[in-house]
Amino acid sequence: MARILVTGSADGLGRATADTLLAQGHDVIVHARNADRAKTLIDFVDRGAALIIADLSKRREALDAVHGLNDVEAVDAVIHNAGVYSGAAVIPVNVVAPYLFTALLRTPTRHVYLSSGMHRGGHADLGRLDWDGERPSGSYSDSKLLVTTLALGVARRWAPAVLANAVDPGWVPTKMGGAGATDDFDLGHQTQERLVTDQGLTVTGGYWFHGQQQQPHPSSQDPKVQDQLLAALAGATGIELPRR
Ligand SMILES: NC(=O)c1ccc[n+]([C@@H]2O[C@H](COP(=O)([O-])OP(=O)(O)OC[C@H]3O[C@@H](n4cnc5c(N)ncnc54)[C@H](OP(=O)(O)O)[C@@H]3O)[C@@H](O)[C@H]2O)c1
């Protein structure tokens, strides 16, 4: 049994992931952006889940959530699932928050980052991004290229102690995916669940789609690009990725 944090678990893939992990008997920490959205998670809390609240577009709230978790109990794994498609929050929610949770949570030995097939159309122009989210800067595709690069960079820096992988869930019908999405919803969350629970799994630095590894965008695999991203995130947040 593992203690697993699923960010963005009030809806969509994150909610389904938390539901499965709870049903499997894991200790699950669910997460909502505010107290109102947390009401949708009461049934999970009744089933034993712990709950954290943080608007991940706000740096202070993300940091408070991490410090709160470090103060309580060891987290074994994180599924960095919360995501937005457009607006100024794209970079803070899709990239900066996963970085902060990765760099500051002391105990996880597994990290899973939600990417997207759309990462292939991203351009990682680090110098032009607004990491604070004061104005829209990167696109959704940019953010998913960056979070894929983050996953692979963390995997390289922290191997073999920590397993870090990225997952493309496919185009699935959620609030973000829309009703017309054509991929299977269950296949969209099963890979993340396996990556945090399969004790026989040793893969790190993988990019997964429906249980199989694929090749992500070449720039995400480039150690120089990974190091540039980690340096940019450290510069923007004042928080270095520690050694593991
Ligand atoms: N659906 C697809 O086809 C698809 C395809 C590729 C990748 N993905 C990725 O899969 C992940 C899950 O997406 P989904 O399809 O399940 O979308 P979703 O139903 O919109 O769920 C996204 C979750 O993230 C939360 N969230 C968004 N902004 C937040 C913030 N500022 N603070 C805290 N939580 C926040 C949402 O909270 P609220 O419920 O309060 O809004 C929601 O629980 C995302 O990273 C997405 O990019 C999805």
Q: Above 80 in pLDDT, residue 185? A: yes
- Distance set, CA 121 to CA 21, 23, 116 (Å): 32, 36, 10
Q: Is the peptide bond before 108 cis (omega within 30 degrees of 0)?
A: no
> Would strands 212-214 and 207-209 be described as parallel, antiparallel, or unpaired?
antiparallel
Q: For residue 88, what pLDDT band results from cuts at 50, 70 and 90?
A: very high
The predicted-structure confidence for 97-110, as pLDDT tens digits, reads as follows 999 999 999 999 99
Q: How many CA atoms lie within 13 A of 86 on its CB side?
A: 3
Active-site residue, from 99, 140, 175, 224: 140
Predicted confidence at residue 1, as pLDDT, reads 79
Higher-scoring residue by pLDDT: 6, 124: 6
Tell me if residue 175 is catalytic: no
**For the whole prediction, is pTM greater than 0.85?**
yes
Q: For residue 213, what pLDDT band results from cuts at 50, 70 and 90?
A: very high
Q: Which residues line ligand 1 (CB under 6 A)?
A: 8, 10-14, 33, 37, 55-57, 81-84, 89, 93, 114, 116, 169, 171-172, 174-177, 181
Q: Which atom of ligand 1 is nearest to the CA of 10?
A: 43
The predicted-structure confidence for 27-62, as pLDDT tens digits, reads as follows 999 999 999 999 999 999 999 999 999 999 999 999
Predicted confidence at residue 235, as pLDDT, reads 97
- Looking at domain 3-237, its CATH superfamily turns out to be NAD(P)-binding Rossmann-like Domain (3.40.50.720)
The predicted-structure confidence for 71-82, as pLDDT tens digits, reads as follows 988 999 999 999
**Ligand 1 pocket test: which of 7, 30, 175 has the largest number of ligand atoms within 8 Å of its C-beta?**
175
